[in-house]
């Protein structure tokens, strides 16, 4: 083996290794900052028909306090069920939460929170939720030790 | 694959990509690096390609194609970086082991036992288990139903070598093996995973007690005395492993995982503090009571004083890393075989010698990517058991890499842990494949969009027009 070839092998392989890491980091970056709508993607919507851009409703439900803190749920048009039951959208493991505790529903782009007859109640800001209440982005919803808010 | 979720304004809100294409591309890249590395080693050391090269390339490609297809079919939303990172590490490991095989043949041409093909078979077995786990375990939450069974299994696996006669279970002073019919298995590697699953299920059950009942002392939320039970139990278990199996590594690994999972579950820094205190106590006792621990610490503090004895391995490893320098000697250009047992415990020093600081750091960064994806999965997944399990498994990889590399570079005393995916050793490789399969399974649950009909509409929940009072 000539010395030149050995040197090409030596540095070329290191370059290859770091190219792999570079590629991996690009994926990590796309995951962290890429797509505005979801938390994962940078792909544009398939049928890109953005309506009035000014009126963007909340897009994610973020858990801001409690054991699940940091969890995000991307909002669609399905209602979000919150409770200890396994089939809830957000499964709480909180002794203060009921199995079907609260529900967030979308009515025409606005989100409403309802309490589903929980034992310890659901609070929007400081107010106990009795009937469906309109939730503004950033307004804290409290269930036991967990706090949630809508973000756009 | 469910269709895109539309939001009420009639526009596609989130069409979470499965990212399988990214995974396939990166896997291809990892296979390419593996094959290139093998070619470089062969050309540099022997000057010609070995005839088995084509077979090897096909085999390794087939391995990752199968793994990828299974992920595509049974965990289609899984994280795209987990598998490629593993593929790269396994490929590099196979290459370095093959390189050390060649070195051994050059020194003594009568030695024909090659370890790289054996490792390849272990890797195949690992992928088979990976596939089986993904196919069988469709929901990681189901695992918590078997929490106590797994705990029992873990403890039995951990204790088995201790109670077996030394002729079956002892290798180089560590009683952590089961050697049957030419095969040697380290059951502790599997015990690790069983116990992490148990810890996750147990802590989710009990964390309210462990987190809420506390009293404040000197700025720390200290738990009640009776709640110390589990952590003390884990501590005693670790000490028992140390006493009966003389295995510093597993002991440290178990205790570290438990304390960190306890911390993650309860968000109480006091658990880390208590863990550290218990660790300091245990370390002091171990140093006083056990000769093998004292020998490890002494050679760590001053390896060159024991250059002819216990410190020889570490000194050779340090020389190897020094020879490698920044850019390494090139694959096949160094003398990594100078380090005793370079294939298993000291494979990182072989990597450091031939690929240099840049190569070794690249390997560490690949581990970092693996761990980051695990922790990210833990943040995103929506159920508590999944969160804790993913965090625990990711931490297990990180902790193991830290302890091994610390030992090899002289930062920490040497322990008997293996470098995950890289080092020669069947049990470790297969067990780590199971670990990654669990992470893939959880990450699939984490990234999968909420299914449109996941919430059954019950009569009481059916939408009704509510008249505001």
Q: What is the CATH number of the domain that holds A67?
A: 2.60.200.20
Say whether both A21 and A65 belong to one domain: no
Say whether both A124 and A83 belong to one domain: yes
User: Between chains, do A94 and B7 touch, taking CB under 8 Å as contact?
Assistant: no
**Beta strands in A18-140, from DSSP E residues, in sequence order:** 60-65, 72-74, 80-83, 90-91, 102-107, 110-115, 123-124, 127-128, 133-135
For residues A105 and A112, the answer to whether their CB atoms sit within 8 Å is yes
* Number of other residues whose CB lies within 10 A of the CB of residue A28: 15
In this complex, the residue of B8, B265, B387 whose CB is nearest that of residue A106 is B8
A26 located within any domain: yes
ipTM above 0.85, yes or no: yes
CA distance A120 to chain B (A): 17
Q: What does DSSP assign to residue A137?
A: T
pLDDT value for B117: 92
**H or E element in which residue B178 lies:** strand B178-180
In which domain, by residue range, is A13 found? 1-32
Residue-wise DSSP of A99-126: SS-EEEEEETTEEEEEE-S-SS--EETT
Among the ranges B4-8, B9-13, B96-100, B169-173, which has the highest mean pLDDT value? B96-100
In chain B, residues 246-305 whose CB comes closer than 8 Å to chain A = 265, 267
Residue-wise DSSP of B377-401: HHHH-SSHHHHHHHHHHHHHHHHHH
A37 located within any domain: no
CA distance B356 to chain A (A): 9
Say whether both A147 and A72 belong to one domain: yes
pTM of the model: 0.79
**Who wins on pLDDT, B442 or B270?**
B442
What total number of domains does chain A contain?
2
pLDDT value for A41: 43
A52 located within any domain: no
pLDDT higher than 70, residue B436: yes
Say whether both A72 and A132 belong to one domain: yes
A75 located within any domain: yes
pLDDT value for A38: 42
A113 located within any domain: yes
Say whether both A74 and A139 belong to one domain: yes
Say whether both A72 and A120 belong to one domain: yes
In this complex, the residue of A40, A94, A131 whose CB is nearest that of residue B469 is A131
A15 located within any domain: yes
Say whether both A26 and A71 belong to one domain: no
pLDDT-above-70 percentage for chain B = 88
Say whether both A17 and A64 belong to one domain: no
Average pLDDT over residues B300-317: 90
From chain A, the residues in CB contact with B382 under 8 A are 68, 71, 73, 89-91
pLDDT higher than 80, residue A77: no
Distances (CA, A) of B2 to A101, B153, B354, B422, B453: 27, 38, 48, 38, 11
pLDDT value for B465: 58
pLDDT in tens, B7-65: 443 333 456 788 899 999 999 999 999 999 999 999 999 888 988 899 999 999 999 99
For residues A27 and B51, the answer to whether their CB atoms sit within 8 Å is no
pLDDT value for B327: 93
pLDDT higher than 90, residue B278: no
pLDDT higher than 60, residue A45: no
pLDDT higher than 90, residue A134: no
Say whether both A90 and A146 belong to one domain: yes
Say whether both A4 and A76 belong to one domain: no
Residue B170 tokens read as: 């002892």
A47 located within any domain: no
pLDDT in tens, B373-409: 999 999 989 888 999 999 999 999 999 999 999 999 9
For residues A17 and B34, the answer to whether their CB atoms sit within 8 Å is no
A53 located within any domain: no
Instruction: Return mean pLDDT, chain B.
Output: 86
pLDDT value for A37: 41
User: Between chains, do A68 and B450 touch, taking CB under 8 Å as contact?
Assistant: no
Say whether both A74 and A145 belong to one domain: yes
Say whether both A130 and A68 belong to one domain: yes
User: Between chains, do A89 and B454 touch, taking CB under 8 Å as contact?
Assistant: yes
Beta strands A102-107; A110-115: pairing state: antiparallel
């Amino acid at each position: 083996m000539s010395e030149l070839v050995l040197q090409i092998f030596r540095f070329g392989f290191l370059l290859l290794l770091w190219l792999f890491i570079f590629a991996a980091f690009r994926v990590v970056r796309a995951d962290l900052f890429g797509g505005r709508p979801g938390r994962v993607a940078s792909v544009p919507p398939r049928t890109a028909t953005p309506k009035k851009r000014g009126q963007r409703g909340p897009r994610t439900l973020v858990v801001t306090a409690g054991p699940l803190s940091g969890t995000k749920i991307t909002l669609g048009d399905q209602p979000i069920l919150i409770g200890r039951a396994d089939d809830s959208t957000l499964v709480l493991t909180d002794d203060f939460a009921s199995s079907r505790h609260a529900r967030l529903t979308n009515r025409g782009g606005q989100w409403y929170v309802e309490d589903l007859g929980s034992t310890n109640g659901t609070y929007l800001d400081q107010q106990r939720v009795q009937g469906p209440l309109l939730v503004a982005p950033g307004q804290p919803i409290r269930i036991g030790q967990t706090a949630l808010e809508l973000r756009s | 694959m469910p269709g895109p979720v539309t939001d009420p304004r009639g526009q596609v809100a989130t069409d979470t990509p499965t990212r399988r294409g990214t995974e396939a591309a990166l896997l291809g890249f990892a296979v390419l690096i593996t094959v290139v590395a093998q070619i470089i080693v062969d050309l540099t050391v022997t000057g010609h390609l070995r005839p088995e090269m084509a077979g090897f390339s096909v085999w390794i490609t087939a391995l990752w194609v199968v793994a990828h297809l299974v992920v595509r079919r049974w965990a289609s939303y899984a994280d795209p970086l987990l598998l490629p990172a593993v593929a790269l590490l396994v490929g590099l490991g196979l290459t370095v082991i093959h390189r050390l095989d060649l070195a051994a043949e050059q020194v003594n041409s009568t030695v024909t036992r090659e370890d790289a093909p054996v490792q390849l078979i272990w890797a195949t077995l690992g992928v088979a288990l990976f596939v089986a786990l993904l196919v069988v375990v469709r929901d990681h939450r189901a695992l918590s139903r078997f929490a106590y069974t797994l705990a029992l299994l873990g403890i039995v696996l951990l204790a088995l070598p201790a109670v077996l006669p030394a002729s079956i279970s002892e290798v180089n002073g560590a009683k952590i093996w089961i050697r049957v019919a030419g095969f040697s298995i380290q059951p502790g590697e599997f015990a690790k995973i069983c116990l992490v699953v148990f810890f996750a299920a147990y802590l989710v059950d009990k964390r309210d007690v462990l987190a809420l009942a506390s009293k404040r002392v000197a700025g720390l939320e200290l738990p009640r005395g009776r709640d110390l039970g589990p952590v003390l139990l884990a501590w005693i278990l670790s000490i028992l492993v140390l006493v009966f199996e003389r295995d510093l590594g597993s002991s440290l690994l178990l205790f570290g995982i438990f304390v960190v999972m306890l911390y993650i579950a309860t968000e109480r820094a006091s658990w880390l503090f208590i863990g550290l205190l218990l660790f300091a106590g245990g370390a002091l006792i171990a140093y006083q009571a056990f000769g093998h621990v004292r020998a490890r610490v002494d050679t760590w503090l001053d390896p060159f004083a024991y250059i002819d004895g216990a410190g020889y391995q570490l000194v050779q490893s340090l020389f190897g890393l020094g020879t490698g320098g920044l850019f390494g000697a090139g694959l096949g250009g160094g003398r990594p075989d100078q380090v005793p047992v370079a294939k298993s415990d000291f494979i990182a020093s072989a990597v450091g010698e031939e690929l240099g600081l840049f190569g070794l750091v690249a390997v560490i960064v690949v581990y970092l990517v693996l761990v980051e994806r695990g922790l990210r999965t833990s943040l995103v997944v929506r159920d508590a058991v999944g969160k804790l399990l993913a965090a625990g498994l990711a931490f297990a990889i990180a902790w193991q890499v830290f302890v091994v590399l610390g030992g090899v570079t002289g930062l920490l005393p040497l322990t008997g842990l293996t470098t995950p995916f890289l080092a020669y050793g069947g049990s470790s490789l297969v067990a780590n494949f199971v670990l990654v399969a669990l992470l893939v399974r959880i990450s699939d649950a984490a990234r999968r969009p909420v299914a449109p009909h996941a919430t059954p509409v019950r009569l009481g929940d059916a939408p009704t027009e509510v008249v505001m009072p």
